[in-house]
Structure 1
Amino acid sequence: MDDDVMETGQTEPRGTKRTASDAGLSSNEHRRIKALDPDVVNKIAAGEIIVAPMHALKELIENAVDAGSTSIEILVKDGGLKLLQITDNGHGINMDDLPILCERFTTSKLREFEDLAAIGTYGFRGEALASISHISHLTVTTKTASSSCAWRAHYSDGKLVPAKPGQSAKPKPTAGRGGTQITVEDLFYNVPTRRRAFRSASEEYAKILDVVGRYAVHCSHVAFSCKKHGDSGASISTAVTASTIDRIRQIHGSAVANELITFDIEDNKRLGFTASGLVTNANYHVKRTIILLFINHRSVESSALKKAIEQTYSTFLPKGGHPFVYLDLEIEPNRVDVNVHPTKREVNFLNEDEIIESICREITSRLAQMDSSRTFMTQTLLPGVPKISDLDQSNTPTRKSGTLPSSQRPYENNLIRTDSRMRKITSMLPSLSTPPHNTQREPQSTDQAEETENRNDGLHYETTEREPLRIGLSSVKRLRATVRAEMHNGLTELFSAHTYVGLVDERRRIVAVQSGVKLYLVDYGMICNEFFYQIGLTDFGNFGVIKLDPPPKLIDLMRLGAEIERSEHQSTTETDEMEVILSRAPEMVSETLIERRDMLDEYFSIKISDQGELLTIPLLLKGYLPSLTKLPRFLLRLGPYVTWTSEEECFRSFLRELAAFYTPENLPPAPPSKLSRSTITPQKKTQNSSFPGTQDDNEGDEDDDNDDNGIAARRLQLIQMLEHVLFPAIRARLVATNSLLRGVVEVADLKGLYRVFERC
């Protein structure tokens, strides 16, 4: 802006703050607090509740259903801005209640604040009609069963007004049928800024149809009809006798309705909820997720539930595919807070994470059961692989299949092995459990081989009758929310659909996995650390237990851990200071754990006896046993590395230490072949049998053999657990966070390999 314009004061620059003197007010007068005009207050409240025509219609539909209607007719003009009319056949409104019908906080559904804990209707605050009357011209025509005629009333700003100037404002008798008809004209006529914000009437009408469609699907006992003003046919029309699936077919199409599966789950004792609904199977997918969510019969939204369902379906649908879900969730009213959002679009309820997890688990189970009927378009099989038609003659479940025309077959560089019957590359490698060359093993039968394969190294599992704890700690919920906020979608999808290839380097803890047409090297130490931390949050307070028999003394384990720490710090310059710390640490940490043993037992399944014996440690994953050589250092670190003074930080740091304990340890590289030693040793014994010290040398060799055998046994155990326990669990449960990106490296791409071989 030019300086001369600013100096003359004709035009103020944008963003300039005016002083009290510029506004014609004294400094004290400008700073006084005054009550807003009631008309301003009511318009502000109306703008919060009625944001668009669809919100006004939602409130009117809920009032009609609360009135016991079995038929609801909706008429819309100009996207609801010019006309929005809803007619029902409910019980109507008493003529004596019409004068206060549109005043704020007038309702027939609440008497005391405590009634909110048992609210069973859609509306309860008495603000819907009041808000609509402040931003439109509202007309109500109603007739009850006991009334001899219908009554019509006009409203503005919450008060009765005459239909024409000079007439009485009182309700007038008129002809009409039983029920109520509410007509909303010129919505937002006195809020021009809001009215100009709407782009087009067709867009607003589409939003209105979405609202009507949701309630038409859910309210199976009500007939719905919605059409534009002037149109002869209705956009939505459902009969009162139509089933839920028929309503979905009419509104969303036969492609959805033909692929629906039902599910039902309840947990009234612990979580106080029942859930039922219809979800699409793996044959159907669209570009965006469609969720019709009703909590206690209210149409609401839940981003947490939507994200969890999308993650559940990601293992069943192709990339970019999304499901259709209709979910009717009923929770005990005293566990739900419905009064948290002006439009009642969102609600809060207890045990949200547990309920969502139960629903997703049930959906996963139903999808897995229906997977045998999935339809595929298949490519021609490679030579030597049995055809699908051959398998149909056996007891194997059949699948619909077809062969793509040669012109539509995918290129070879897009094909990956997906048939589990094909031979794996590991079958060409020597067996890891091959016995030494100087021993003989008799051939095993098939039953014996299966028995050997299914051994659990002497572990025996028992099911306890302990009731699961209901964890409602806000600190745990915040830690879970932090993990969800750090989720990396691409990496989570990689792990949820990966194929485990094999162990690459146990010293650096690297495995190879395949996802799609790409091969990755994965730092399984980093991945397992995050995975066990997430298990600690998910199963918090409900871990299994590993019983130690005989139970070791806690102080002995602490001293052993201090010796391990002391041996690692011998080469440092701070040996004297470290010696002082390590000499005191076992007693101090032991006292700390014994003082908190009740909490450790309740939340972390670490049980310590009165005599200071360690009875149990937590079991995080069935079938996986952590290295107990790490137990002394784990217990010793619970002292200085756990923040015991803050609840949230205590849980976070403790679970991080527990995850580090459960993470597989680094193993030394495999020892060289012992062929030369095993052939020379007998001669050595014969020649040196008369010399002193020969027996000691042989004992040292035996100790080395025992160490090597122990490492070899642990390596074999680790290989089995990585393939059959850890990575299947990671595939099912891991939420990959951004911090794990540095632990995954792409090393090969099938398309890239084809380009390399094409140049050869």
Structure 2
Amino acid sequence: MDLDDEKLKSPPKIKPLDVSVVNRIAAGEIIVTPANAIKEMIENSIDAGSTSIDIVAKDGGLKLLQITDNGHGINKDDLGILCERFTTSKITSYEDLSTIATYGFRGEALASISHISHLTVTTRSKASDCAWRATYLDGKLVPSKGSTSADPRPVAGRNGTQILVEDLFFNVPSRLRAFRSPADEYNRIADVVGRYAIHSEGVAFTCKKHGEAHHSLITTAQASTIDRIRTVYGVAIANELVKVVIAGDKRIGLVGASGYITNANFNAKKSSQPVLFINHRAVTCDPLKRALTQLYSAFLPKGSHSFIYLSLLIAPEKLDVNVHPTKREVRFLHEEEIIQRICDNVQHVLGEVDASRAFKTQSVLVAKSVDSPSPLNNAQKRTYEYNMVRTDAKERKITSMFKQPASKSSASPGTALASVPQSPSDTPGPDDEILSDADAEASESASDQYETVERERVHIRLHSVKQLREDARNDLHKGLTDIFANHIFVGIVDENKRLAAIQRDVKLYLVDYGAVSYEMFYQIGLSDFGNFGVIQLAPALSISSLLKIAVADGDQISEKQESEIARIVDQLTTMRMMLLEYFCVDVTAEGDIKSIPLLLKGYTPSVAKLPMFLYRLGNNVNWSQEKECFEGVLRELAIFYVPESLPMPPPSVLNSSEAPENVLPLEKRRIELKDQIEKCIFPTLRRRLLATKTLLGSVIEVADLPGLYKIFERC
């Protein structure tokens, strides 16, 4: 046997890894992404009694990650071992782990960060006369740039601690290459900050990208949980939240649970991880998530998802938080029983909410939600008549080829009197204009419906309005705008689904005029902001009575609905001065509405939609933020102005010379609406619409002359 064979048979020698390798491996297990680092530092700041936490990130936190708090700080004497592994002030013995009630306890967070970045800590306690700054690398104090001493140095600073992490993973290039983009990493950081901002009552949070003036997240210390959810996740979720409170059970170790979940009125197409806290620690619990997802499937459409925020308190002796390097997962006794208890309570709450829903809703757009007009999904499945081709705009419309029911009297816009400013809003100044041309003039038949009032045009200089106008410009689609600016109206194809045909050059298009008019009225609201005409309601109408029409099922009004109505009336009366000044919505202190804005001369929205308009105005507008408030009111006005979908009359009415009395009012509105769509709305689209990218799916090309020639040539 030679020497080489002997080496192959002998086992390799076991030797300890170098300490630097051990520390770097441990750091890679605990700090996986910049979001993990910020989570650990947020928990340390909250443990320090902070009431204000500010976070700044550069290049997704890989280049710079800074967190500043106003907690109790760190003593100068402790800075020497601050970043050594397993140095902590939270526990003294292993038995303490069974009753741990703080976020951090192992002393690994800052140690791990110092092994994979350049770490600087600036801190000041209340007893200290100044702040102290220390720089760390591989868990040890090192001299800062331009200095020869590694000792902490005195600097000016406020009470609390600031931790600056630079060049994260600079010595782990394989980890750096795994990150996709700084934007994705920043979104993960913002998600972590948002979760703790929701849960941490009494703590203010800010989060922004380095170098940017505005913050992507701001919450105040006084904000309620619902206000925090509204700030982080949006108004749509906050408006549909219901509170969940679960009583404790000593037998299974459940101290109690509470939170907020969305009811069956809200559903999102994108799945999101539930915001789950166990003993105030952000964690994941896959069994609980699966159980809640299965529970919601009975209340939501297929493929839809909910928003869930739950905070569980479990007896510390029945909980093991030390099972995952990042403390992302926890294990606790009686898991199945606790999950069953939670699901039973959530199902009970959802069942009560679902049973009390009795809202009469009205579809404003053909496709999905009225809040975001969407493409006509089934337009391509329809069969269209291609043999009706107009070659001259002066020729008769397609609608004239169908037999119309007779009516003894012409339609009238209603009893309301509309007034317009002497300096009309259809001549905006250069600073206010976002649209291409002036509003359409009223037809001669409706000219006696209006009167001119002595009111000069107000030039709006509000920054929020200018931002909204800029957003509209940035979303412009030039090709689609050109189609509408040069189109020829062919005719209404389907009144129920709000489809119309238009022609541009040698191409024929099918248009969802519900979605298109929604965008046009929103843009008119932006252009004429603060300078609307007025539609007077005579006599004034009770908002409370109108809201009862919106929410009641017959004559039955529940106590919850009465409370909701009172809340909306109080909200609208509180904001009445702003509504009158900027939107010409005249609400009295007694809770009556006297006027609504006139967006388009010659077109009158259906007053039957007024109850739902007021209901949505009270529920869907973020009244606390100026920009969001203005946008919300303008979008609700646009929804109110969108032509309603009217059913076709029965064949007996279409074939008879006189309409029955019970069908006549609806038929008069149908004739009036068709006339206004053709003579007012579509001409205004030519002059005022800046078609946005969101309308691409609402305009479908159905025929073009060159293509038809090619087909005929092959025949």
TM-score, normalised with respect to structure 2? 0.51
Corresponding residue for 1:183? 164
Please name the residue that 1:405 is paired with.
Answer: 645
Q: Could you tell me which of 54, 57, 82 is aligned with 1:73? A: 54
Partners of 1:345 and 1:408 in 2: how far apart? 58
**1:586-618 alpha-carbon deviations (Å, 9 max, x no partner):** xxxxxxxxxxxxxxxxxxxxxxxxxxxxxxxxx
1:284 has 2:446 as partner: no
Q: Classify the secondary structure of the residue corresponding to 1:267.
A: coil
Secondary structure in 2 matching 1:392 = coil
Query: Cα distance 1:391–1:261, how it changes in 2: closer, same or farther (>3 A)?
Result: closer
Q: Secondary structure of the residue that 1:363 maps to in structure 2? A: helix
Q: Greater CA deviation, 56-65 or 263-272? A: 263-272
Q: Match for residue 97 of structure 1?
A: 78
Determine if the alignment matches structure 1 residue 245 to structure 2 residue 226: yes
Distance apart, 1:370 and its partner CA: 1.4
| Structure 1 counterpart of 2:320 | 337
Task: Identify which of 90, 97, 101 aligns with 1:109.
Answer: 90
How far residue 264 of structure 1 moved from its aligned partner, in angstroms, is: 0.7
Counterpart of 1:197, as a letter, is A
Instruction: Find the counterpart in structure 1 of residue 248 from structure 2.
Output: 267
Match of 1:300 in 2: 283
Q: Does the 8 A contact of 2:360 with 2:551 survive in 1?
A: no
Distance 1:408 1:227, change over 3 A: farther
Deviations 1:480-507 (A, max 9, x none): xxxxxxxxxxxxxxxxxxxxxxxxxxxx
| Offset, 1:289 | 4.1
Measure the CA separation in 2 of the matches of 1:317 and 1:98: 53
Distance 1:269 1:302 in 2: 21
Q: CA deviation at 1:389?
A: 11
C-alpha spacing 1:291/1:395, structure 2 compared with 1 (3 Å): closer
Matched, 1:393 2:555: yes
SS in 1 for 2:247: strand
Alignment of 1:161-560 (within 5 A): 161-164=142-145, 167-273=148-254, 274-287=256-269, 288-374=271-357, 375=359, 377=361, 392-393=554-555, 405=645
Q: Write the deviation string for residues 345-400 of structure 1: whole angstroms up to 9, x where unpaired.
A: 000001111111111111111111112443465899xxxxxx99996136899999
Cα offset, 1:38, TM superposition: 0.7
Structure 1 CA distance, aligned partners of 2:111 and 2:648? 62
Residue 33 of structure 1: CA displacement?
A: 0.8
For 1:63, the equivalent position in structure 2 comes to 44
Instruction: Check conservation: 2:52, 2:221, Cα contact below 8 A.
Output: yes
Contact 2:53 2:68 in 1 (8 A): yes
Q: Which amino acid aligns with 1:285?
A: N
The whole-number CA distance in structure 2 between the counterparts of 1:100 and 1:366 is: 50
Deviations 1:246-277 (A, max 9, x none): 01011111111111111111223222211100
Instruction: State the secondary structure of the residue aligned to 1:323.
Output: coil
Q: Residue 127 of structure 1 aligns with which residue?
A: 108
Q: Counterparts of 1:328 and 1:395 in 2: how far apart (Å)?
A: 33
Contact 2:295–2:347 (Cα < 8 Å) also in 1: yes
Letter in 2 for 1:321: S
> Residue deviations 1:98-145, cap 9 Å, x none?
010000000000101010110000000000000000000000000000
Aligned counterparts of 2:176 and 2:245: Cα–Cα separation in 1:
44
Separation in 2, partners of 1:138, 1:85: 10
Q: CA deviation at 1:27?
A: 4.0
CA distance in 1, matches of 2:9, 2:552: 93
The DSSP-based 3-state class of the residue aligned with 1:72 is strand
Following the alignment from structure 1 to structure 2, what is the Cα–Cα distance between the partners of residues 395 and 263? Answer: 24
Q: CA deviation at 1:318?
A: 1.4
Sort the Cα spacing of 1:349 and 1:147 in 2 relative to 1 into closer, same or farther, 3 A: same
1:408 Cα offset (Å): 11
CA distance in 1, matches of 2:155, 2:62: 26
Structure 2 unmatched runs, 5+: 364-495, 497-548, 562-610, 614-642, 650-715
Distance 1:335 1:345 in 2: 17
Residue aligning to 1:39? 20
Closer, same or farther: CA 366–42 of 1 in aligned 2, 3 Å: same
State percent identity of aligned pairs: 58
Tell me the distance in 2 between the aligned counterparts of 1:21 and 1:144.
Answer: 64
1:289–1:310 Cα contact (<8 Å) kept: no
State the alpha-carbon separation in 1 of the partners of residues 281 and 120 from structure 2: 26
Q: 1 CA distance for matches of 2:205 and 2:96? A: 30
Partners of 1:314 and 1:408 lie apart in 2 by 36
Q: Of the two structures, which has the highest relative contact order with CA contacts closer than 8 Å and spacing of 6 or more?
A: 2
The 8 Å contact of residues 93 and 144 in structure 1, kept in 2 or not, is answered as yes
Q: Does structure 1 residue 151 correspond to structure 2 residue 313?
A: no
Alignment of 1:669-708 (within 5 A): none
Q: In structure 1, give the amino acid aligned to 2:555.
A: Q
CA distance in 1, matches of 2:552, 2:204: 51
CA distance in 2, matches of 1:266, 1:322: 26
Note closer, same or farther for the CA distance 1:267–1:166 as it changes in structure 2 (3 Å cut).
Answer: closer
Q: Report the CA distance shift for 1:150/1:201 in structure 2 as closer, same or farther (over 3 A).
A: same
Change (3 A) 1:249 1:37: same
Larger Rg: 1
Question: Can you give the 5+ residue segments of structure 1 that lack an aligned partner in the other structure?
Answer: 1-19, 381-386, 410-760
Secondary structure of 2:274's aligned partner: strand
> In the TM superposition, what is the alpha-carbon distance from 1:404 to its structure 2 partner?
8.4
Contact 1:135–1:191 (Cα < 8 Å) also in 2: yes
Structure 1 partner of 2:681: none
Distance 1:39 1:359 in 2: 45
* Conserved? CA contact 1:296–1:328, under 8 Å: yes
CA distance in 1, matches of 2:201, 2:17: 45
Tell me, yes or no, if the aligned pair for 1:290 and 1:323 is still in contact at 8 Å.
Answer: no
Contact 1:392/1:398, CA 8 A, preserved across alignment? no
Paired with 2:45 and 2:182, the residues of 1 have a C-alpha distance of 25
Residue 311 of structure 1: CA displacement? Answer: 1.3
Q: Does the Cα contact within 8 Å between 1:122 and 1:298 map onto a contact in 2?
A: yes
Are the aligned partners of 1:295 and 1:330 in contact in 2 as well (CA < 8 Å)? Answer: yes
Secondary structure of residue in 1 paired with 2:232: helix
